[in-house]
Amino acid sequence: MAEISDVYFIDGMRTPFGRAGEKGMYWNTRADDLVVKAIRGVIERNPDVPLDRIDDVAIAATTQQGDQGLTLGRTAAILAGLPQSVPGFAIDRMCAGAMTSVTTMAGSIGIGMYDLALAGGVEHMGRHPLGGGDTDPNPRFLTEKLVSADALNMGITAERLHDRFPVLTKERADRFGMRSQQKAQAAYDAGKLQPDLVPVAVKSADGAWGLATEDEGRRPETTMEGLAQLKTPFRPHGRVTAGTSSPLTDGATISLLAGSRAVKELGLTPKMRMVSFGFAGVQPEVMGIGPIPSTEKALAKAGLTIDDIGLFELNEAFAVQVLSLLDHFGIDDDDPRVNPWGGAIAVGHPLAASGVRLMIQLAAQFAERPDVRYGLTAMCVGLGQGGSVIWENPHYTGKKKTAKK
């Protein structure tokens, strides 16, 4: 008999993220092989999970063609060596693809239909640029003026946030971008990110094999002076630069989710419990504000306020987009609760994979912070959407963190 169940994030892993394009480390690596590596990493780290008990595999990709097509969840499951009795499917919500993979599987677990599921995403932006080159938007979008012609140019949508909110200055965005780089490098130096990275064998243009073990796009040497000199590619005399944008990225993520019955039966140790989630739509031309209404939805469903959130993992598609959310909720730019290990500006944003990266980092921080009860993962989404998931820390003790003397 099916029963309503809690939903737990048991574990998550990802490939190192690579720079997209011919000079990137994954130029000669298939997208589906990146997914397979991530799945194998989670499976090997959780040997007590019977593979034939996995109820489904949901893998997201924004551009579903070539080596990112063919019902990725099913093909990746077979390639990863899961029993052929395990089904799978592909999913797309642009940047929130992996996040939607998780919430979709969570719905099935929550109503007792599933016990265990794998959910994640991949984007090989070197092989498959956004839109894939063969998309055919309905002409009504333009003829009926439903959406601006440049609404799919994410950089221009970011420029519009600067226009709409003059308090979101270029200097603030530059500083946020610089701090992201610094925090990500500090996290690397402290060994915070590496435990959840799956090494990937990669082949260079000359046929030599190597091992990808770190995120490739980091620029810890970034300075405010350097950022001030960068071009504004989306608009002459604009405010959005490469230093305040997430780079084009290749990579894959995966999470293992479980319901209460499986956790008890298999003796699993959850890293997080899902509290609530929300998705919301906004004008596509200002898609960066999407996480504001989706976070308000998720908070309302959880019966919480923004003050209850002790850690924030916000996807840094653009610095200005994160700043717009912080301003809305009255949070300081340098609040230590926000992206303490840096974000997508430093490590990259392989579109449909990024939602689970946020969850992986939040889970690792929860383990270090028993004083924090709730955390938020949130992101903006192309075509004017936002996605937010609130999580509870199973390590929470109720004791406040004491300041070091």
Set 128, 237, 349, 395: catalytic member: 349
Set 95, 124, 128, 162: catalytic member: 95
Q: Which of 244, 274, 245, 319 is nearest to 119 (CA)?
A: 274
Q: Which residues contact 186 (CB under 8 A, 6 or more apart)?
A: 341, 342
124 catalytically annotated = no
Set 124, 128, 162, 380: catalytic member: 380
| Whole-number Å distance between alpha carbons of 44 and 245 | 34
162 catalytically annotated = no
128 catalytically annotated = no
| Whole-number Å distance between alpha carbons of 193 and 25 | 19
| Whole-number Å distance between alpha carbons of 290 and 43 | 34
Q: Which residues contact 373 (CB under 8 A, 6 or more apart)?
A: 308, 310, 392, 393, 396, 398
| Whole-number Å distance between alpha carbons of 271 and 392 | 9
Rounded (5°) CA angle 70-71-76: 95
Residue 220 CA, distance from chain mean position: 21
Q: At 4, list the tokens.
A: 């309503």
SS3 category, 242? helix
Residues 160 and 297 sit within 8 Å (Cβ to Cβ) = no
First and final CA of the chain: distance in angstroms? Answer: 55
SS3 category, 218? coil
Residues that are catalytic: 95, 349, 380
